[in-house]
Copies of this chain bind each other. A is one copy, B any other.
Amino acid sequence: MLRTRPVLKLVRWYSLPNKQSTLAKFKFPNATSTIQSITNDLPTYLNNQQLKVTLHGHMNRKPRIRPQLGFAFLRDSNGDEVQLLATPETTDGSVFSLMGKLLVEDSVSVTGYVQSKVQPKEQSTSSPVSDWELVIEDFQILNSSNSDASKLDKLKHSNPSELPPQYRYLQLRTPAYQNALRIRSKVAQLIRNVFIDNHDFVEIETPLLFKSTPEGAREFLVPTRSYNSFYALPQSPQQYKQILMSSGFTKYFQIAKCFRDEDLRSDRQPEFTQIDMEMSFINSSDQVGIVVEDLINSIWNKVGNKTTYTVNSEGYLQKIVHKQDKLQFSKLDYVTALTKYGIDKPDLRSNLSFTSLEKFFTAKENSEFPVLELCVLKQAFNPEHKYKLPKSFTDDISFKSRKPYVWPVKDDRIVTSWYTKLIDAGVIIPTESFNEEELVRTLNLQPGDIFAVSTRAEFPYENPTPLGRFRQLAMQEFPNKWHRPIVQPDGTLLEKYDFDDVIVGSWVVDFPLFNPKEVQSEDKYPRYDYTQFESTHHPFTMAKLEDYDLLSSEPLKVRGEHYDLVINGVEIGGGSRRIHDPELQTYIFKEILQITNYQALFGHLLKALSMGCPPHAGLALGFDRLCAMLIGSNTIRDVIAFPKNQSGVDPVVESPTGVSEKVLNEYFITTKQ
C-alpha cells in the first residue's frame, strides 16, 4: 500500500502548494482525550458509539490497509499506543481511502468511538498497546512524513539509541528519550524550588559574553566588530559569582550554561549545564554542603525514587535523613581515598579496599612509585573448576597506561610464588622488616580468591592508580559481590542488593591545593616537574587554615578548602571556600602559580575583592551528569536535546559551517590555514 513520495530536495516548487490540502493541515478538531485518559475511564467509553473522542498523535508503525479492513497505530504525546480500526461499514469511503496514504510517523488527528478489540493481537510487539481500539469515523493527516521514517521504523522500535543522529527528532519521539528530557525538566524545577523556597537563594544570570582568561581548559572565542577584540564564552560563572559575592548577594545560584573547547572524548560536550551556587559570610564549607545535600536528597528521593545512603562510622551504608544543621554524607580525605580505593571518587557501594605492603616490599621499577599495594577479591571463583580471569582485568582497553599484576588463587602455590616472581623480575625488593610468615598471615589468600598487586607514589597524584582502576573493573565484572552492607532499621545488615537501587554519597576533602605540573613521560609512569605548581581545582581556592605557613615553605603540602561530592563513584560536583583576601589571592597568582600577567587576567576579580568582599564559599554540580545518572544512562547525550557529536558537529542542523569573507571582514578577522 505504501507509495513512495518525492524526496523534498529533488522537487522544485514553483507554485503555491494546493490550497485545500495545505489548509486542511491547519484546521482540525481539538483533542478530547489522551489514550491514557480513555484507558483510565474505559467502561464509560466502551461500545458507546455516541461518545466521540478525538486523539492527536503520530503513526507509530506501518498501517495495514486492505479493502475490507484497515489497521493503523497511533502514538500520542504520552508515548501510549492504540490501534485504529476502519471497515467499510464503520468508516466513510473518503476517510478509508485517505488512510491508504498513511505513512509511519505522519502526524494525525483521528475521531471515532471506543470498542473492545475485535481482532486478536496478531502482531507481536514489545511496546504496550491498549486492549481497546478506536473505530475511525473521521481522520486527518496533519503533516506527512517522508520515506526515511518508514525505513527507520524497525530500528525505532528495536533500538532507538542506534537511530542515525541526524534524525534526532525521530529518536526524541520515542518514550525513553521523551522521559529523559521530561525528567531533566522536573529536576531543574525541583532544584530551583529547593534553593529558593527552602534556603532563600536568589537565581542570578551571569554574562555568557565573558573575557578571555586563558587558564585551565581552552575557551571558545567570540569576535566583535572591533579590531583584535574578543569575548570568550565562560567555562563556568566562577569569577562573576565571586563578584556577585562582593555585590551584596549572600546566597546565589544559577543553572548555568558553560563552555569548554576541549577534545570531546569521554562523554563531554562543548556546552554543558552546571548547577552553580555561592554563599557569603560563610565560615565553614559545611554550610554549603548542607544546602547541596538537601538538593541531592530531594532529587533522588522525589524524582529518582531511590534511597540515599552515607557510609557510617562502622563502614556500613546508612539511610540519609536530611538535617538543616549537619552534614549527612561522610567525609573522606584525599589521601585515604587514594590509598584505600585508588581514586578520588571511589564508588563506596563496594567494600573492596587496598592493603599496603610497604612493610614487606619496596617497588623498584620507578623510584617515585615505591609503595606496593594489593587488592583481594575474596571467593571470586570456585577453585574446583577451571577458571580464567576476566579479560578486562588484563587487557589494554581497560587500562590507559600501566596495569596491575593480577592472579587467581587456583591453589596454595601462588600465595608465596607471586612475590618471588616479582623479586626475580626486579620489580620489587623485600624490606628489612620483611617476614614471610607475617606476610602470608596478613594476606590470608585462599583458593578461589583473585588478587591484584601494583605500585603507587607515597603521595599519589596518579588518579586512578592501577589498583583504583582494577577496583572499578571488579565491580563491573562481579556486580553481586563485595557489597558494602546496608544497616536496616532493625539493625541487621543487608548484603545482597542491586547496585542500581542504592545511592551512596560522600564528600571527598583535603585535596592538595597544588599539583606538580605533569610533563611528557616516555614510560608508562606519569612524570612530574616538582618545581612548577598548578592549582588542583582553580586558583581561587583557599588553603586549609592550618596549612597556611606551608604556602611559603612547601606549597605541595598545602591542603585546600576544597570538597568534592561523589555519588556512586561519579564526581557529581565540587566546591571550595574561596580566597576573599586580595593580597593572599595576589600571592597565589604571582608567587605560587607564577602567572605574570595576573593583573590583565584577573585584575577585575582582585578589584572586586578589594572592596570589602565578604568571605564566601560555593560549589558547582554537573547537571547533565546528574540527570544521566537519574535515568540510569552512562552518557550525558541522552539528557541533552541536541548534543554535539565527538567532532563538535550538531548532526541535526549541520553546524558549524563556513562563513563568507564579507561577514568575517566585519569582525576584522580572516581565515588562515
Contact = CB atoms under 8 A, between A and B. Distances in A.
A642 B106 contact: no
A221 interface: yes
Nearest to A172: B247
A667 B219 CA distance: 11
A652 B142 CA distance: 52
Nearest to A209: B271
A222 B542 CA distance: 34
Contacts of A173: 247-248
Contact of A148 (B28, B587, B611, B659): B611
A207 interface: yes
A658 B248 contact: no
Interface in A64-116: 77, 103, 105-107, 109
A203 B188 contact: yes
A655 B210 contact: yes
A179 to B, nearest CB: 11
A244 B641 CA distance: 8
A669 B208 CA distance: 22
A202 to B, nearest CB: 4
B143 A613 contact: yes
Interface in A514-548: 542, 545, 548
B107 A228 contact: no
Interface stretch (A19-27, A362-370, A440-448, A567-575): A19-27
Interface string A149-184: 100000000000000001111101110001001101
Nearest to A263: B225
A672 interface: yes
B208 A610 contact: no
Given A248-B77, A261-B225, A16 B206 contact: no
B654 A604 contact: yes
A637 interface: no
Contacts of A188: 192, 203
A32 interface: no
B615 A26 contact: yes
A584 interface: yes
B615 A207 contact: no
Given A172-B249, A281-B31, A196 B202 contact: no
Given A19-B548, A26-B545, A178-B248, 17 more contacts: A77-B249, A107-B613, A143-B581, A146-B611, A148-B611, A149-B611, A168-B247, A189-B192, A189-B203, A207-B271, A209-B220, A210-B655, A212-B659, A220-B231, A222-B233, A247-B641, A670-B672
Contact of A591 (B13, B23, B29, B207): B13
A230 interface: yes
A656 B586 CA distance: 23
Given A9-B599, A586-B13, A673 B142 contact: no
Interface string A204-220: 11111111101000101
Interface in A133-149: 142-146, 148-149
Contact of A671 (B227, B581, B613, B663): B227
Given A227-B673, A650-B209, A641 B167 contact: no
A29 B228 CA distance: 49
Contacts of A205: 257, 273, 640-641
Contacts of A23: 545, 548
Contact of A15 (B56, B228, B552, B673): B552
A111 to B, nearest CB: 13
Interface string A577-614: 10011111011001100000001100110111111111
A581 to B, nearest CB: 6
A549 interface: yes
Contact of A657 (B105, B185, B193, B229): B229
A603 B271 contact: no
A618 interface: no
A503 B491 CA distance: 62
Contacts of A221: 222-223, 659, 663-664, 667
A182 B248 CA distance: 12
A609 B15 contact: no
A224 interface: yes
A168 B581 CA distance: 19
A612 B149 contact: yes
A626 interface: no
For the complex of A and B, the 7 pairs showing the least CB-CB separation, nearest first, are A211-B655, A173-B248, A145-B612, A172-B247, A107-B614, A169-B247, A56-B281
A670 B673 contact: no
A19 B603 CA distance: 23
Contacts of A149: 611-612
Contacts of A172: 244, 247-249
Contact of A281 (B142, B169, B642, B659): B142
Interface string A191-205: 011001000001111
A228 B658 contact: yes
Contact of A196 (B25, B166, B185, B608): B185
A59 B223 contact: no
Contact of A642 (B22, B240, B587, B669): B240
Contacts of A218: 666
A318 B346 CA distance: 63
A240 B653 CA distance: 9
Contacts of A604: 652-654
A328 to B, nearest CB: 19
Interface centre among A25, A166, A224 (most CB of B within 10 A): A224
A174 B248 CA distance: 8
A383 interface: no
A645 interface: no
Given A9-B599, A552-B15, A650-B211, A231 B655 contact: yes
A118 interface: no
A109 B615 CA distance: 11
7 contacts: A8-B583, A19-B548, A169-B608, A205-B640, A212-B655, A230-B659, A668-B671
Contacts of A610: 8, 144-146
A589 to B, nearest CB: 9
